Structure 1
């Protein structure tokens, strides 16, 4: 099992909203709704490019903006993270069944370390962070890396995502994909099963997603 973090397991997108709007305000502007939607699921570098372009200030240093966001979002994460509906129950069911599990996120390691205080460090056999891969989502590298660390063929993995960027990454890697949109609606996509909430997901559904993609004569 391969779980995205922000917007999938924890309701952190609202915290990102706060940090991003505060950054925009510190630059004398307001982040547009379109820009905020475009940022969902992207790497920090791409997020800062979108922010600067949206504000009409492309000359700003993305590293400086990223450092500001990193510091602020750490404060917000430490104030408390809330689970997305159904996420805790599904993660616990997966772990109780002994299924190899990885966290695959675009967030950097310092932020993930804080989030793991809520998620549980023993909830994952591997953790792949956005600052630990050469090519972040939507590139397939994060999910391919997670499958390799778990020792499981990517074709036998189910990835759970909430964003277009994450879905694209998981599909390109070759995983079965369950999409559960959070802040931004997702269009119907071939090969992607979509639910309104993880409260509607269980081990039977995850097994069915893998069964659908198994070639004729190959089961289990």
Structure 2
């Protein structure tokens, strides 16, 4: 979701840097990059360590971030280039589609007002799995909910954590880096933008022809 479908990483950046300032510090660029695509608990540990305040309660920090990001999502959520057109084409073709995100359900519910609740047959949130990305559980869960073998799924990701999760699950991967670079890897096709993606490409990643 974040950075792949919607240009929300910049909103997370605002909230995280505001919290760092609230704690009397400044979030480093390296720490911010390390947070991209991770679960909230991991991001809060990175933030606290970066500020030299590891003793802080990650639940308290997470609650602050979630409240602030909800405000930002309601007013500033924008589609990534090519994302809406590709999603519409996929839905028009009748392809089963799942949203697999590290964000929690309350935030996703707000985002779905922009994304469209009928855009996905299944939604897997970061607070609804035992192990978040880069663990394979989120994508395996999505494939199970769709009733589709994971080997016939294409995961579209923007972060190293998300790519690792999809690869470990056994999906084909289309990577479209947003905020951080993604290292080349077997089984990962990279594009600069989803404006260059279409149904033919997704089928090709599975070694198939589009229906």
- What TM-score results when the alignment is normalised by the length of structure 2? 0.98
Count how many residue pairs are aligned between Structure 1 and Structure 2: 209
* Residues 155-179 of structure 1, C-alpha deviations (whole Å, 9 max, x = no match): 0000000000000000000000000
* Equivalent residue number for residue 166 of structure 2: 170
* Equivalent residue number for residue 117 of structure 1: 113
* Equivalent residue number for residue 216 of structure 1: none
* Equivalent residue number for residue 45 of structure 1: 41
Instruction: Give structure 1 regions of 4+ aligned residues with deviation exceeding 3 angstroms.
Output: none
* Inter-partner Cα distance in structure 1 for 2:186 and 2:9: 26
* Equivalent residue number for residue 12 of structure 2: 16
Question: Which protein has greater RCO, CA pairs closer than 8 Å, 6+ apart?
Answer: 1
The CA deviation at 1:199 is 0.3
Aligned-CA RMSD value: 0.9
Runs of 5+ unmatched residues, structure 2 = none
2:36 pairs with 1:55: no
Q: Tell me the SS of whatever aligns to 2:207.
A: helix
* Equivalent residue number for residue 197 of structure 2: 201
* Equivalent residue number for residue 151 of structure 2: 155
- What TM-score results when the alignment is normalised by the length of structure 1? 0.94
Matches within 5 A, 1:1-220: 5-211=1-207
